[in-house]
Structure 1
Amino acid sequence: MSKLSRDISISALADLVHGAASRWKALALLQAYFDESGTHGSASIAAIAGYVADQATWSALEAEWRAAQPAYAPVFHMSPCISGHREYHGIPETERHDLIVRLSKILEAHPVRAIWSAVVIEDWENEAKDAAFLSKFPKPFDLCFRHIVWQLRNWSISHCNGEEIAPVFALNDEYQKRMSEVGAAIQAHPSYLNVLGGLSFYPPSKVVPLQTADFLAYEVCKHWDNHVYGPPITLANSGYRNVFVNATTGHQSGGCFADLGLKNAICQFKQTGSFFGESF
Structure 2
Amino acid sequence: MTARAAAAYDADLPLILDALRAEGLAAEAVDWDAEAERWDRFDLAVIRSTWDYAERIDEFLTWADTTAHATRLWNPASVVRWNSDKRYLSALAGHGVPVVPTRFLEPGGSTHEEELPTGDIVVKPAVSAGSRDTARYEPGQTADALRHARLLLDQGRTVMVQPYLRRVVEGERALVFLGGDFSHAICKGPVLTEAGVIDNLRVAHPGVTPYDPTEAELRTARSALAALPAAGPLLFARVDLALDDSGDPVVMELELIEPNLFLAHSPQGLERFTAAVAAKAAEAG
| TM superposition score normalised by structure 2 | 0.28
Higher RCO (CA-CA < 8 Å; seq separation 6+): 1
The structure with the greater share of residues assigned to helix is 1
TM-score, scaled relative to structure 1: 0.28
